[in-house]
Structure 1
Amino acid sequence: MIRDARVLQSQFIPDEVEHRNAEVNALSNTLKPIMDGQTGETSLLLGPSGAGKTCIANYTVERLRENVLDIDTRYVNCWQEYTRFQVLYRLLDGIGRTVDIHRRSTPKDELLDRLRGYDESQFVVILDEVDQLEDKSVLYDLYRMRNVSMILITNREAELFSQLDGRLTSRLQTCVRILFEKYHLDELVSILESRARWGLTEDGIGNEQLAIIADAAAGDARVAIGILRNAARRADQSGTERITTEIVREAVPDGRREVRQKTVEQLNPHQRALYEILQDEGELDPGELYDAYAERVDEPKTKRTVRNYLAKMDHYRLVVADGKNRARTYRSR
């Protein structure tokens, strides 16, 4: 049943992407100066989760690497690496400059100096979920480096710019914005057809079953691929040669749950505390939630930062925000 399991992973980068030609072309144009040895434009990829932002960023950078000799690239997931030190370390690690760096004792400025001193090639940096950065000053650090080109990925522009100081805002306001919409049903079916063709045996699944998966995913490619992967796993374990409608319907909740769990695992400690409080206590208003959060963590963030955290978790369907202003409440989904 399963011919190539890699294809059934959401992070797999295909050789050809579908239904995102305009976005690929727009991003390619921002990076085009690199082919002449110059720095590319800063780009901001915006849109809902599962709309292909990360895939397109990595795909476009890989195509660039095929045409440019002197280039280094690095992908950073800011869910997991959200401090200034972690980001700088990750970038230096990509160019082999971390041998004698100690995570606990090496000053952040030393990391920055090493990165500034690297001028052997152009350096393309993808910062995914960039609004998750605790210290946004690292964006200013990278913006000022003459050989660093940044691709920033976030869901909503407001969530990023509301956290920036005036210095950063004025610089990033001029970046190229590339908007991603949710996939339509037929687009998701087409994407799933390609994944099934590469990853499963011939006739392993039919269009009717793919349409059910696409409909259940509601425009989110990560969820769609997760359901397909779970359906293939179920069919493989049962020894069935074809994924039936019954298997697909059984795989839908597992596929959704798997994507949700991966998101939960990426939460930073403060978001995790908020999430666990809502799971333990049920529905809370903002004041009650913040008081419980402030008691649970050692160094609580500001109320504004907590609101941004909750907005992010609402976007990823981990919590539910009901009502507005003083009538607003939060609960776990």
Structure 2
Amino acid sequence: MIKDRWVFDDAYPTDILHRNEELNSLSRLLKPATAGGRAGDVLIHGPSGVGKTATARWMLRDLRRRAAVSSALIECSGQTANGIIHEAIEKYPKGTVVQRNQPRDELVATLETIVDEPFIIVLDEADVIPDLDILEDLLSVDLVSVIAITHEDNEWLNRVDRDIRPRFRGESQIEYQKYHVPELIDILEPRVEHGLMGQPADSYQLEWIADETGGVARWAIKTVLAAAELADERHHEYFHERDVTDAFDRAKAKIRKANLRSLPVPHLRLYELVREIGPASGDEMSEAYETHKEAIFAGRNKNPVGWRQACNYLSKMEDYDLITMPGKTNAKVYEVVDEELEAPVKFGPRETVELD
């Protein structure tokens, strides 16, 4: 039944549907680059799975076809500041060979030397960048501009240097909302046509999937794939009702696992801390973090962050549907969504601490 699994991948190149306003805003901000100037900086924000990265990727392809504009899309999860600059240098068409462990000022100097045309750097999942001073480094290069893709705007901006914040405020922000059901159906139909054989799903089933997934395109697309997998496993026919019913949780679990594996090691260890001791109150989590923070950041060439920054890490995991943390401040209760989902990292908090 599955003809081409790639069709259901996040990076699959496809037309961007129902994002005209967002595309127009992005095009306006990047337009100076088509005349050889520096593009505007952009903050794209909104929930997971609603087309933020896909839109940026599509726009950059379009710009490269029309003008001498270079770009680099950098996945920031697991990256250090040095790693991000190093990848930007490597992805620049006239890049050069540099060592990742070179001093940061040397990497910035190299970037400054080689960039001789508009260079747009997309920082995907910019919420998890541990040191946002990197923005000052990147923006110090004349023709470099930055598109930051985040879940939350204010939370991210509060971590940005005051002198740089104005670059990402006002008309430089583009907010993405969840899709409506008819819009999601329009997105699903070509995926079904190009990715599956025959006519495995009827219009009612696609409407059901679009409605149940709450406007999140990634979940809807992965649910179609999961339903096809289940149909292949069970009867090699069109989607049965049971296939669709079971596909929602199957797709969500796969997305959750992929999200977890994309996170940096300190996030993974912090997730394991929550998995081991949760449900835990804010006070319990804070106390446990203080006990384990050296181990959480061990081997990362970075000093442990304070509890406030650790809370930002936890918020990121909540955005990824990995943990729940309802309540306010110390009244929060921290717990993982799926106790069976284990992070791909060795970390045993129970070995050194037991909470009452």
* 2:77–2:262 contact (8 Å) kept in structure 1: yes
What residue is the counterpart of 1:233 in the other structure? 229
Match of 2:111 among 112, 115, 124: 115
2:40 alignment counterpart:
41
Q: 1:37 to 1:251 in 2, by over 3 A?
A: same
Aligned to 2:212: 216
**More moved, 29-38 vs 163-172:** 163-172
Deviating beyond 4 angstroms after TM superposition, the runs of 4 or more aligned structure 1 residues are: none
Output the amino acid matched with 2:3. R
Instruction: Please show how residues 244-323 of structure 1 align to structure 2 within 5 Å.
Output: 244-298=240-294, 299-323=303-327
Partner SS for 1:114: helix
One-letter amino acid of the structure 1 residue matched with residue 65 of structure 2: E
Q: Which residue of 2 aligns with 1:80?
A: 78
How many pairs are equivalent?
328
Kindly state the Cα deviation for residue 208 of structure 1 after the two structures are TM-superposed: 1.5
Cα distance in 2 for residues equivalent to 1:53 and 1:116: 28
Q: Find the aligned partners of 1:141 and 1:103 in 2 and give their Cα distance.
A: 16
- Write out per-residue CA displacement over residues 66-119 of structure 1, whole angstroms, 9 at most, x where no aligned residue: 111x222111111232x21010011111126353x3334x21211111101123
Cα distance, 1:159–1:289 mapped onto 2, change above 3 Å: same
- Candidates 165, 168, 174, aligned match of 1:172: 168
Give the aligned partner of residue 162 of structure 1. 158
Going from structure 1 to structure 2, the CA distance change for 1:235 and 1:28 (only over 3 Å counts) comes to: same
How much is the aligned-residue C-alpha RMSD, in angstroms?
1.8
Higher relative contact order, chain-length normalized (CA < 8 Å, sep 6+): 1
Matches within 5 A, 1:183-222: 183-222=179-218
- Residues 273 and 293, structure 1, Cα contact 8 Å, conserved in 2: no
CA pair 171-20 structure 1, distance change in 2 beyond 3 A: closer
**1:117 aligned counterpart, secondary structure:** helix
Task: Provide the TM-score with structure 1 as the length reference.
Answer: 0.92
Match for 1:45: what amino acid? I
SS at match of 2:270: helix
Residue 102 of structure 1 aligns with an amino acid whose one-letter code is Q
* Larger displacement relative to structure 2 (30-39 or 263-272): 263-272
SS in 2 for 1:149: strand
Instruction: Find the aligned partners of 1:224 and 1:293 in 2 and give their Cα distance.
Output: 36
Alpha-carbon distance between aligned partners in 1 of 2:171 and 2:77, rounded to the nearest angstrom? 22
Moved more, 23-32 or 287-296: 287-296
Find the counterpart in structure 2 of residue 50 from structure 1.
49
Cα distance, 1:4 vs structure 2: 2.4
What's the offset of the Cα at 1:237?
A: 4.2
- The separation in 2 between residues aligned to 1:2 and 1:275, in whole angstroms, is 34
Q: CA contact under 8 A between 2:86 and 2:99: conserved in structure 1?
A: no
For residues 217-247 of structure 1, the C-alpha deviation after alignment (integer angstroms, 9 at most, x for no partner) is 2111111111111222233345624223222
Could you tell me how far apart the structure 1 residues matched to 2:22 and 2:148 are? 14
Conserved 8 A contact 1:127-1:151: yes
Identical residues among aligned pairs (%): 32
Which stretch of the first structure deviates more once superposed, 89-98 or 192-201? 89-98
Q: How far has the Cα of 1:325 moved from its partner?
A: 3.1
Deviates more, 1:237-246 or 1:58-67: 237-246
Q: Is the 8 A contact 1:127 1:150 kept in 2?
A: yes
Native 8 Å contact 1:4 1:200 kept in 2: yes
